[in-house]
Amino acid sequence: MPNPVHEPPRAMNDARPPAAAATAPSPMRQSYRDALREALRAALHADPRVFLMGEDVGRYGGSYAVSKGLLEEFGPERIRDTPLAESAFVGAGIGAAIGGLRPIVEIMTVNFSLLALDQIMNNAATYSHMSGGQIHVPLVIRLATGAGRQLGAQHSHSLEGWYAHIPGLRIAVPATIDDARCMLAAALASPDPVLLFEHAALYNLEGERTPGLTAVDIDHAAVRRPGRDLSLITYGGSLPKCLAAAERLAEQGVDVEVIDLRSLRPLDDAAIMDSVRRTRRALVVDEGWRSGSLAAEITTRIVEQAFYDLDAPVARVCTAEVPIPYAKHLEDAALPSPERIVAAVRGVLGRGEAG
């Protein structure tokens, strides 16, 4: 297994005075895209077995510019452009992982992953089980997911809930700058395949990164905003919308707790139930379609495990059950929004109609 990624040590001739050296470093501002690129660079430096492969990841620098400059730095053996053949290059990644390497496979958008679904579900997810634990597939697949950028119905899917249905896979969803920077190292340390879903609307997001943080726990949820009146449970690209809704609700005297799931398989039931038992109300925000959604699974688990702690039925805000429209006003109407989340929270609290 690869060693944990660490920041390079400070030079021996660093002449800063002791007081300055002892001062806690200030948070640094960084974009989600740059945090992902830094994570890739750190992984490639830390372990010679790591390589990146996918469509346009090399000379073009990645469809979302995440791998820009890495070909020049690491060369074509470790930054490999592939043909437009998802099943072929995901299969090659599976074989490389079984053979002892640590491949990172980039699938340009999540809808293209359906062309490699047989490789992901019938091979990567099953080898450990079918071999009695003798064969592991330490493969990381990065996928851009989500809607909101007027790319039409064929390029606006949120299918992470589908993949969370499959035993043998680990599903992680970085929604913050810290997680964008640090989840890759944790994923590469896993002996089993990990799918990292990066919401495409987050690539331009900027925020503060914790200095020196190089590792995070990809198995557990995080409380992004503590509150007492309701648990707002979400992940990925919906996290900024939930935080914005929480701020608006605070102005109305409503204090909601925002839970970032971070991992969709395994789900952190303990964190979800702990929050729900404290606030006694829950709303799940999921960009997937409502029918058969991850939100439905979370709602059911809350009912199974914390039913008698609830003061109101669990509610959901999901994407409208339509192919995502191209027209901007229709796309916005189909997706979860801060306005819909605020209305739904007020509905759960009995202060207005749920939206």
**Chain-centroid distance, C-alpha 125:** 19
CA dihedral 163→167→170→175, nearest 10 degrees, is: 40
Nearest CA to 220 out of 184, 269, 280, 257 is that of 269
Considering 106, 155, 198, 257, which one is annotated as catalytic?
A: 155
Q: Which amino acid is at 316?
A: R
Which residues face 225 on adjacent strands?
Answer: 258
CB < 8 Å & 24+ apart, contacts of 113-116? 113/86, 113/141, 113/143, 113/159, 114/159, 115/86, 115/87, 116/86, 116/87, 116/90, 116/91
Burial of 352 (0-12, 13-18, 19+ CB in 10 A): middle
Closest CA to 138 of 189, 197, 86, 78: 189
Q: Which among 270, 267, 276 is positioned nearest to 313, based on CA atoms?
A: 276
Pairing of strands 256-260, 222-225: antiparallel
86, 160, 198, 287: which one is catalytic? Answer: 86
Residue 86 a catalytic site member: yes
- Judged by DSSP in three states, 209 sits in strand
Tell me the catalytic residues.
86, 155
